[in-house]
Amino acid sequence: MTEVMTDWDVGVIVLLLPLAAAMVVFQDNPYHALVVRGILGAIAALVYALLGAADVALTEALMGTMLGTALSVVAMRSSLVLRLGVLATEVAAPTPEFTALCEDLRRGIAPHHLRLEVVPYDDCAALHRALVERDIHGVCTRSRAAALHGPVCQYATVLRVSRLYEILRAAIASPTMHLIYGADPEKVVLVDPVADPFNSTADQADQSEGLVPQEPH
Amino acid sequence: MNWILGAMVLATLIPMYAACQNQDIWQKMLAFASIATKTSVAIIVISVLQDDWFIGMVGSIILSVGNASLMLLAQVLKRLNQTNPGY
């Protein structure tokens, strides 16, 4: 350290580092924590440059702050998500019940900092294939009986991830939605009740192992 | 010249306090931008005080690259906000 700066000056600047670190620790939203991690990186670079390690400061700014933050936010964006497969017709012309259901789902997963991504598929076969291939975490279709009874649409959501099922089960008590846990996606039978409410596939589906979308009891 | 550095450190505390208080992520990004710029200018001031060109060069690189990281982060956060308002 040169004679220009006293130990007191250096001490005050170095104290910013634990302060910023404490700020990172006390953030509960991961995205907020990442932004505050950027602040920590900037202050760390200042401290390293102050103590004479200019190369370390440059590495901290380039790798720690820029690359680390950018990669973390991309990883977080693709992992902290609930991908819900639906039929394309639902997205093209959403019913008020479907919109309310999406809002309910968003509200249910928001405390865990997850976001909802609705993925449209053309038909039930594509939807089922996506569920089996683990491309999506769950599917949401209209209940078969809803097509038979009355104007109110009812939806059944089949989730293949048990933790997501627990979270949503505790958070959501919507009368228009029925949650089902499908541990084995292969056994989930999806029918398109709007296209053909009386077809034989639906009757066959009722006999499978309780994994078809059913009416709440 | 030391008082300039002291004033900058005190000024750095203001956006840090703002980042602590505010729950809006864009306010935090603003605080991040403010702190990143302040610290890199402080590095350049230190290089002048110590008469070290190497530190000055690093400070100028950090000053320009810090904004790039901010832009990258803002782009991803903007897309997140479009698909799921409230983040």
For B8, nearest residue in chain A (alpha carbons): A13
The residue ranking higher by pLDDT, A201 or B54, is B54
Q: How far does the CA of residue B74 sit from the closest CA of chain A (Å)?
A: 10
**Cα of A136 to nearest chain B Cα, Å:** 17
Q: What's the mean pLDDT when you consider all of chain A?
A: 78
**Does the distance separating the beta carbons of B31 and A70 come in below 8 Å?**
no
Average pLDDT over residues A35-58: 92
Give the pair of three-digit tokens for residue A1. Answer: 């350290």
Reported as half-sphere exposure (CB side, CA atoms, 13 A), residue A211 has a value of: 17
CATH 3.40.190 fits A81-206, yes or no: yes
DSSP collapsed to 3 states, chain A: CCCCCCHHHHHHHHHHHHHHHHHHHCCCCHHHHHHHHHHHHHHHHHHHHHCCCHHHHHHHHHHHHHHHHHHHHHHHHHHCEEEEEEEHHHHHCCCHHHHHHHHHHHHHHHHHCCEEEEEEECCHHHHHHHHHCCCCCEEEEECHHHHHCCCCCCEEEEECCHHHHHHHHHHCCCCCEEEEECCCHHHCCCCCCCCCCCCHHHHHHHCCCCCCCCCCC
Q: Check A5 against B5: CB less than 8 A apart.
A: yes
Q: Hey, is the C-beta of A23 within 8 angstroms of any chain B C-beta?
A: yes
Cβ–Cβ < 8 Å for A127, A54: no
Residue A45 touches partner B, C-beta closer than 8 Å: yes
Say whether pLDDT at A214 is over 60.
no
CB within 8 Å of B72: residues ≥ 6 apart:
A66, A69, A70
Determine, for residues B32 and A116 on separate chains, whether the beta-carbon distance falls below 8 Å.
no
The fraction of chain A above a pLDDT of 70, given in percent, is: 76
Residue written as token pair 């009416």 = A215
Distance from CA of A187 to the nearest CA of B (A): 31
Q: Which residue would you say has higher pLDDT here, A59 or A89?
A: A59
- pLDDT computed for residue A199 by the predictor: 42
Q: What is the ipTM of this complex?
A: 0.92
Residues of A with Cβ-Cβ distance to B43 under 8 angstroms: 45-46, 49-50, 57
Q: Which of A134-143, A176-185, A192-201, B74-83 has the lowest mean pLDDT?
A: A192-201
Q: Is the pLDDT of residue A215 over 60?
A: no
Q: How many domains are contained in chain B?
A: 1
* A54 at B interface, C-beta within 8 A: yes
Sort out which chain A residues have CB atoms less than 8 A from B39's CB and list them: 42-43, 45-46
Q: Which of A35, A37, A99, A115 to mutate to test the interface with B (most CBs of B within 10 A)?
A: A35
Q: Are A180 and A154 in contact (CB under 8 A)?
A: no
- The Cα of B25 is separated from the nearest Cα of chain A by a number of Å equal to 6
Query: Which comes out higher in pLDDT, residue A2 or A75?
Result: A75
In chain A, what are the domain boundaries?
A: 7-78, 81-206
Tell me, what's the pLDDT at A57?
93
Name every residue whose Cβ is closer than 8 Å to that of residue A10 and which is 6 or more positions away in sequence: A1, A50, A51
Are A32 and B25 a contacting pair at CB < 8 A? yes
CA A64 to chain CA centroid, nearest Å:
26
The alpha-carbon gap from A203 to the nearest alpha carbon of chain B, in Å, equals: 37
pLDDT of residue A211: 46
Q: How many Cβ pairs within 8 Å bridge chains A and B?
A: 132
Q: Which residues pair with residue A81 across a beta bridge?
A: A115
Query: How confident is the model at residue A131, as a pLDDT?
Result: 87
The angle subtended at Cα A120 by Cα A118 and Cα A122, nearest 5°, is: 165
Contacts of B72 in chain A (CB under 8 A): 66, 69-70
